[in-house]
Amino acid sequence: MTKNFVGRSVTRLEDRPLLTGQGRFADDLGFPHQLHMRVIRSMSALGKIRSIDTSRALKLPGVFAVWTSADVSDIPPIDFREGKIEQYEPYRQPILARDYVRYVGEPVAAVFAENPYVAEDAADLVEIEIEELPVVLSPDDAPAAFAPGYSTEVAVIDKGFGDVEAGFRKAHAVVELELKIGRHSGVPLETRGVLARLDTVRDILEMHGAAKVPHRTRDLLAQMLGRSRTSVHLFEGHTGGGFGIRGELYPEDVLVCLAALRLGRPAKWIEDRREHLMAANHSREQIHRVRVATDAAGRILAFEDEFFHGQGAYIRTHGSRVVDMTAGMLPGPYMVRAFRARGHFRLTNKTPAATYRAPGRYESTFVRERVMDAIAQRLAIDPIEVRRVNLIAKSDMPYEQPIDALGEKIVYDSGDYAGLLDKTLAAVNWDELQTDLRRRRAEGEAVGVGLAMFIEKSGLGPADSARVTVDVDGAVELVTGGASLGQGFETTMAQICADGLGVDYKSVKVIHGRTDLIAHGIGAHSSRASVMTGSATHIAATKVKDKAIQVASEFMQIPVGDLDVIDGHVVRKGAPAGTPSMSLAEIARTIAPTSRVRGHHEPGLSAEGWFFTDHMVFPYGVHVAVVRVDRSTGGIAIERYLVAYDIGRAINPVMVEGQITGGLAQGIGGALYEEFNYDQRGTPLSVTFADYLMITTMEMPPVSMLITEDAPSPRNPLGIKGAGEAGTNAAGAAIAAAIDHAIGLPGAIVQLPVTPERMYQILRSRSEQRNRSTIS
């Protein structure tokens, strides 16, 4: 019988080297005679560079070179991953600061030395004089001048549909909120690192340590260095986490590669943790001012949001995609009659920002679900019922929201939102839970439950490819342009390939992160890998299977329709074990280039598969959080958590649960602990783990999962939708609602993270209000 691997929680293939200490991370790599780079960074948030003196550093024994912007003036600023955007070009980041510095941590100079210790000593000898200027720190501050003729308000992103003004005229009630999401980001176990060398014999520039999007990074790097794409090869090793922050093209990446070209020796740079917290991409910071009109039943008649996005000092490779996704995903799973979002894309004198797990969705879900709870409070309607009357119905699928995101029309492909809500309530025994919480509150505890619903997006196109080959010994090789960030990429692709071809998944060798082996690739971002690379793999594997059956049909004298591939052998369908068959290895030998019996068949048992799509897919889910608040300290403990999620089709259910649990930890971190703070001069205050508070296993609650497959996507051959960001998306919204419920103060939580200090202030303010009421 055919074994189906898709849908089974099979053992991961990629873990042995990691568990046995054989991982190959960026800092494990090295070449003879390599130079080590140390970056000298600005300690001023905004200022004019008056002078840079490198003379003392250059005299230090072991120092090979010291570069400033004058040494790299021919290298253009870092461009955008999706292509040229003329409006944003003046705001791109140079690889070394030119004339001005615009955030603390900006690279100003680079030292190259014989070892990292000399490089660090030399960096301390570089003297920089900067004339400090007034800073802009909040995205809702008045815009200032970025450069002559350019404002710090780069753009205003407008999206909308329907007659918003008419909706407010008809309103039974109007809800207004101001909501804030704090600046935080991914903090992977492995910091950034890159190693580059020039193969002078082949004139190939090699970059090792690539992650996430090797092909896109290669293209940008080749463009900046004036080289052909084929002369730049990127190699991905093991990667200690991605989460949006790893894998973009940063100034340090370009500097190392440029050094390998110009200095005639390999060059290496490994980021320390202080640099990472100061200079790698931040994310999230937004301020929203929302107005919503409803009828008496709580149905949304008009939804209006003006928000301010704190981009930081420059626009990095993602352009304005976070602002765009925030505006485009605001309606979520609800039927909004009229909608208008206006996003101010603004620069500040902070570390540049980009994507972080569920970018634009974590923010918009927090805003939208706070609005739903506010409507319920205003109209004295149960929060569940407010959501239920607004949900898009299953019968309306596919459902088009008349707006776009990332240049694509938002058309929800499939879904039963009300059905998943009902399953979620049953899974947590909602009525019994409410009864128990009422009892505990009556006994003096501050406990509560919050619920939030969300829409995700994945499978962003337009295309991806894969190549499957069976060699003459029967080994199966799958070459993809995908990338592995620890999410189980090799295993899931092997499962898909195995089912498409008819072999054991353990026999499939998955190759990824090698731009020299496959011309095109999307890497691993935006939950694309399972949908795009998985679909391309399925198509390629099916082509190889069909070719094998065609060849076997001729030699076995059995019609094609009567044959199948099972356990690596072409057999007659339904035939008992032991009947005549041909192995895939035999077929590969039969049609090898030198085979005398190959006949008319194209040499090799191999095929390339391409998958194209015009639309994203939209998985969806529900988060439920139960929290307890310590009134004396403001401390918040999450007692239990449930994530319900319709994935369309789960390739490996246990790995889906792992992805969701990891994402939830990051969502909780942003809801309760993590925040990049700055003083009034723009100096970052969160550059060590003593100041940037990370969630640990001690704070992580017991997590329950409800993974459903009720709404497979019709937009790809496997019906899959992606899972990477489901655990993060609604965490802030659900926890905020639970805290409100626990302290008996609806609408109290309007800012994330809810740190103990902020929670204590909320409780203290409420206590003072009560005291004033009693006295009066």
Q: What percent of the chain shows pLDDT beyond 70?
A: 98
Q: CATH 3.40.50.970: does it fit domain 416-451+619-776?
A: no
Rounded CA separation 45/137 (Å): 9
**Where residue 773 falls among pLDDT bands split at 50, 70, 90?**
low
Which residues lie below 8 Å from residue 618, measured CB to CB, with a gap of 6+?
Answer: 410, 412, 413, 415, 455, 456, 457, 458, 721
Taken in order 512, 514, 519, 524, the sign of the CA dihedral is positive
Q: Can you give the pTM of this predicted structure?
A: 0.96
Give the pLDDT confidence of 434-444 residue by residue, as tens digits: 999 999 999 99
Domain with CATH 3.30.365.10 in the chain: 136-185+282-392, 416-451+619-776, 460-612
Compute the average pLDDT of residues 308-324. Answer: 96
Residue 770, pLDDT above cutoff 80: no
Taken in order 553, 557, 563, 564, the sign of the CA dihedral is negative
Give the pLDDT confidence of 704-751 residue by residue, as tens digits: 999 999 999 999 999 999 888 999 999 999 999 999 999 999 999 999
Residue 432, pLDDT above cutoff 60: yes
CB 300 within 8 A of CB 121: no
- Secondary element (H or E) of residue 438: helix 430-442
Residue 619, pLDDT above cutoff 60: yes
Residue 774, pLDDT above cutoff 80: no
DSSP symbol at 575: P
Residue 262: alpha-carbon gap to chain centroid: 34
Parallel, antiparallel, or unpaired for β 476-480 and 463-470?
A: antiparallel
Give the pLDDT confidence of 56-101 residue by residue, as tens digits: 999 999 999 999 999 999 999 999 988 889 999 999 999 999 999 9
Average pLDDT, the chain: 95
Compute the average pLDDT of residues 672-697. Answer: 96
**Where residue 579 falls among pLDDT bands split at 50, 70, 90?**
confident
Domain with CATH 3.90.1170.50 in the chain: 31-135+186-279
Residue 126, pLDDT above cutoff 80: yes
Q: CATH 3.40.50.10300: does it fit domain 31-135+186-279?
A: no
How far the first Cα of the chain sits from its last, in Å, is: 81
| DSSP per-residue string spanning 632-698 | TT--EEEEEEEEEEE-SS-SSHHHHHHHHHHHHHHHHIIIII----B-TTS-BS--STTTS----TT
Q: Residue 163 to residues 166, 199, 337, 364, 401: CA-CA distances in angstroms?
A: 5, 61, 8, 21, 15
Compute the average pLDDT of residues 560-584. Answer: 91
**Looking at residue 642, what is its pLDDT?**
98
Residue whose structure tokens are 């299953």: 394
Residue 537, pLDDT above cutoff 70: yes
Residue 693, pLDDT above cutoff 60: yes
Residue 765, pLDDT above cutoff 90: no
Look at residue 522 and give its three-state secondary structure: coil
Which residues lie below 8 Å from residue 519, measured CB to CB, with a gap of 6+?
Answer: none
Parallel, antiparallel, or unpaired for β 399-405 and 339-346?
A: unpaired
422 CB burial (10 A radius; 0-12, 13-18, 19+) = middle
Q: Class of the 460-612 domain? A: alpha beta
Q: CATH 3.30.365.10: does it fit domain 136-185+282-392?
A: yes
149 CB burial (10 A radius; 0-12, 13-18, 19+) = exposed
Rounded CA separation 191/170 (Å): 53
Compute the average pLDDT of residues 181-210. Answer: 95
Rounded CA separation 165/163 (Å): 6
Rounded CA separation 525/527 (Å): 5
**Looking at residue 706, what is its pLDDT?**
98
**Looking at residue 361, what is its pLDDT?**
97
**Looking at residue 776, what is its pLDDT?**
52
